[in-house]
Amino acid sequence: MIIFKRIPNEEPFLKFKEYYDLAVLKRQKSIDALAISSLLKDDLTVDSRYVNLKMIDDGKLIFFSNYESRKANQFNSHNTVSALIYWNNINIQIRIKGKISKTTNDFNQKYFSKRDIKKNSLAISSKQSEYIKSFEEVKLNFRKSLENDDLTKCPSFWGGYAIKPFYIEFWKGDTNRCNLRTEYSLNNLSWVKRYLQP
């Protein structure tokens, strides 16, 4: 589930919501799965991973993560990212390019305090992406956190990221490959609409 707040009255965001509602109607699984690709400037390597897109607020795509993870280092190195959604039940792909930044501490705390405590325990106990001897150690750290930590207080190393798009493309698949591709590029605060050949 993706929460929509303060949807801009602009065509790409209205179209996004329209397709989302259709995907919900068609019982799309993993509807909040967002693939994000980022660059580590030091060695020009690119990584991709899925995150859970939690909300779209005032035109910004928001997810949450560890601020000391590998992807966080890449976001710090280069703050332009690309993102991808594919809803197979309606054969819609959405490509996004944008600038990424952290959300505020107050925003993070409000969100964290409403989460399930087991999720919070894992967020506190896991040093995301760092090596560990075994999965048993992960589970041990998790159990210790459940018993000992304040699970309503958001740690400083965890919080939200907001992607502010400057490019959005909607790809609507067709059985004969005559796919409809519509792109929106932000130019001087206005969205420019163009069609692309399949």
Domains of the chain by start residue, with CATH: 3-113+156-196 (2.30.110.10), 116-153 (no CATH)
140 token code pair: 């041990």
pTM beyond 0.95: no
Give the closest residue to 151 by CA, choosing from 181, 125, 189, 170. Answer: 125
21's tokens:
């509602």
Cα R_g (the chain), whole angstroms: 19
Containing 112, the helix (H) or strand (E) segment is: helix 105-112
Q: What is the pLDDT of residues 154-179, one digit of tens each?
A: 999 999 999 999 999 999 999 899 99
Give, for 26, the enclosing helix (H) or strand (E): none
Quick: pLDDT tens for 9-49. 999 999 999 999 999 999 999 999 999 999 988 889 999 99
